[in-house]
Amino acid sequence: MDSVVDALRLSLLVSFSATALLFVVGLALAWVLAMRQFPGKNFLDALISIPLVLPPTVVGYYLVVLLGRRGWIGAPLYRWTGWSVVFTWQGAVLASFVVALPLMVRVARAALEAVDKDLVQISATLGKSEWETTWRILFPLAWRGILAAVLLSFARAMGEFGATLMLAGNIPGHTSTLPLSIYSAFQSGDDALAQQMAVLLTLVSVVVMILANRWAGQRL
């Protein structure tokens, strides 16, 4: 039972941290894609969306290439700080973040784009800055869609497996989130434990999906 609690606690820690990061970064990216025209916009959109079509293990592989101790960013980081994100719970957060980012950005962007553009323009003629218009008009009118985006991202982060395994490994009590623990239990023949955790993960996901559908006001 302890291992279930440990895995659940770790999964919640990783998913909440990834969701907090997704909320800030994903919403900012969604805003830029919804409100701005700039060269390379399609490329940025495609880059963010790649994890939707790539196997998570491949995403994880690229993350290792980028952030591993010998990686492009990871090597200088390790030299300066003596710390690497590989095999840490922060690595699991990063893997979940990258894999869930397209969901957050796409759903939040659709919500922002659904706000009547006349309202944004009239706000400008009333002397309000883009920042003020965003906070007082765009976000309040798009909050249901943004909340749905956050919930979906959370659910995706809870279920993340492949990229997490590649970047953070499967260290019990340290980086073994629920999906990884289910795999370990199943591999070692502990079917009862695997079943308990699978049911738990399914329940969390179903509840999150119901809430997301209700708040978005439509089926996603």
> Which residue ranges make up the site for other proteins (CB under 8 A)?
116, 118-119, 121-129, 136-137, 140-141
The CB-of-129 to other proteins minimum distance in angstroms stands at 7
Please give the full DSSP string across 28-87, using - where no structure is assigned: HHHHHHHH---TTHHHHHHHHHHHHHS-HHHHHHHHHHHHSTTSTTHHHHHHHHS--STT
Given the complex with other proteins, which of 42 and 125 has the nearer CB atom?
125
The CB-of-107 to other proteins minimum distance in angstroms stands at 20
Given the complex with other proteins, which of 137 and 220 has the nearer CB atom?
137
CA dist 150 and 103 (Å) reads: 9
Instruction: Check: CB of residue 107 under 8 Å from CB of residue 125.
Output: no
Given the complex with other proteins, which of 121 and 195 has the nearer CB atom?
121
The CB-of-132 to other proteins minimum distance in angstroms stands at 10
CA dist 15 and 35 (Å) reads: 28
Please give the full DSSP string across 101-137, using - where no structure is assigned: HHHHHHHHHHHHHTS-HHHHHHHHHTT--HHHHIIII
The CB-of-40 to other proteins minimum distance in angstroms stands at 22
8-state DSSP, 170: -
DSSP reduced 3-state for 219:
coil
Given the complex with other proteins, which of 10 and 112 has the nearer CB atom?
112
Given the complex with other proteins, which of 1 and 126 has the nearer CB atom?
126
